[in-house]
Amino acid sequence: MTNAIDTVELRHLRTFIAVAEELNFHSAAARLHVTQAPVTRTIRQLEEILGTRLLDRSTRKCELTPAGEKLLQTAQRFMRRLSADLGQIGVASPPSVLRLGVCFALDAVRLPELRENLRRRCGVRVHLELRGSHELARMLAFGELDAAIVLLPVAGEGLKVTRVAKAEMMAALPASHELARQRLVAVSDLNAFDRFILPGRRDNPAMFGYLQQALERRGLQSGRYARSREAFEGLAHIAAGFACSLLAETLQGTTGKQVVLRLLRKEDRITVDIGVAAAAAAEEQTVAETASCVRDFLVASFGVQALA
């Protein structure tokens, strides 16, 4: 077998990490912005180099082998370290282009205003990436972003997070349902629906756990959860009348006429913090200026509570 250290390239590791985290070749290809064929080819090359199978593949599912599990931990640790070390090389000079991730919990229509505010106040051009909070944390760890606006909690090793605002979670209901006529909704009322849609446990385990515990403490029956990877899919299920969910107040006005958002009653109130996350090696002044600008934008645009 050829010495792996002389043969394995970064593209092999990036591709393997994407497949291992998605457990789906099509999803991994979409994440890497390539077609599925080069993903399959790269994984096959990596297995040949290492002389072992990393994934058990079938027509319906993809699972890591023991060797794949071990390599995933090693590859993630290596990429985080590489990103941090490379970041230290240019730490003295703030970027002229800010690669900013924005989670799906913000109304994207308002993002041009944020981009302009950052350009004016921080003197940077902004390249925006819209993803889920968990995916943004991964991109930060691998050096693909400079900063990201995320919903907390989110799992992310080696990140520094500045909490900038607090948002109310609101019940997302079918407009045709009788609960939609109420101004305030009790969590226990949501047991009337067949399904309660939450972000997938694998897609965002920290947020899934936080919301699951908060909901069940307030009377939601366990075992009702449905996974929705894409926002439009979840909204379609709600609009159809057999599901409900929780959405942040920063999404008011984005759900269309068939889905309405209603505040939870005072005793059932659930909030989430919004934070600006950055890699540990990020330049302090850039992070502080970005966080300050994002805080002002969130308060002015969405009326959320600012956090110092």
Percent of the chain with pLDDT over 70: 91
Residues 19 and 164 in one domain: no
Same domain, 25 and 136: no
Q: Cβ distance 98 to 124 under 8 Å?
A: yes
Supply the pLDDT for residue 268. Answer: 98
Q: Do 222 and 184 have their domain in common?
A: yes
Lowest mean pLDDT among 122-126, 133-137, 197-201, 218-222: 197-201
User: Do residues 80 and 219 share a domain?
Assistant: no
Mean pLDDT, rounded, for 57-65: 78
Which residue in this structure is represented by tokens 């970064």? Answer: 10
Q: Residue 289 — pLDDT band, cuts 50, 70, 90?
A: very high
Is the domain of 121 the same as that of 213?
yes
Q: What is the CATH number of the domain that holds 58?
A: 1.10.10.10
The predicted pLDDT at position 231 comes to 58
**Residue 164 shares a structural domain with residue 26:** no
Asked whether residue 191 falls in the same domain as residue 237, the answer is yes
Which DSSP state fits 218?
A: T
* Closest alpha carbon to 136 in 283, 278, 231: 278
Bridge partners for 165 per DSSP:
274, 306
pLDDT for 87: 63
- The answer on 82 and 179 residing in a single domain is no
Of 48, 69, 88, the residue that ends a domain is 88
CATH number at residue 147: 3.40.190.290
Q: Coil, helix or strand for 159?
A: strand
Residues 140 and 57 in one domain: no
Whether 115 and 248 share a structural domain: yes
- pLDDT tops 50 at residue 74: yes
Structural domain ending residue among the three candidates 59, 88, 117: 88
Q: Measured between alpha carbons, how far is residue 14 from residues 43, 48, 89, 127, 249 in Å?
A: 10, 17, 22, 21, 35
Is residue 65 domain-shared with residue 134, that is, in the same domain?
A: no
Q: How many structural domains are present in the chain?
A: 2
Q: How far apart are CA 95 and CA 82, in angstroms?
A: 18
Report whether 272 contacts 264 (CB < 8 A).
no
Supply the pLDDT for residue 134.
86
If asked whether residues 247 and 117 sit together in one domain, one would say yes
Pick the last residue of a domain from 53, 88, 123.
Answer: 88
The confidence band for 1, taking pLDDT boundaries of 50, 70 and 90, is very low
Q: What is the pLDDT of residues 118-138, one digit of tens each?
A: 999 888 889 999 998 888 998
More confidently predicted of 3 and 263: 263
Write out the two tokens for 244.
């409900």
Q: What is the pLDDT of residue 187?
A: 97
If one compares 235 and 271, the residue with the highest pLDDT of the two is: 271
For 229-266, how does the pLDDT look when each residue is reduced to its tens digit (9 = 90+)?
555 678 888 999 989 999 999 999 888 899 999 999 99
C-alpha torsion angle, residues 291, 293, 294, 295 (rounded to 10): 80
**With 60 as the cut, is the pLDDT of residue 95 above it?**
no
192 pLDDT above the threshold of 80: yes
What is the per-residue pLDDT for 111? Answer: 94
Full residue range of the structural domain in which residue 181 is found: 95-308
**pLDDT surpasses 70 at 92:** no
Other CB atoms within 10 Å distance of the CB of residue 175: 15
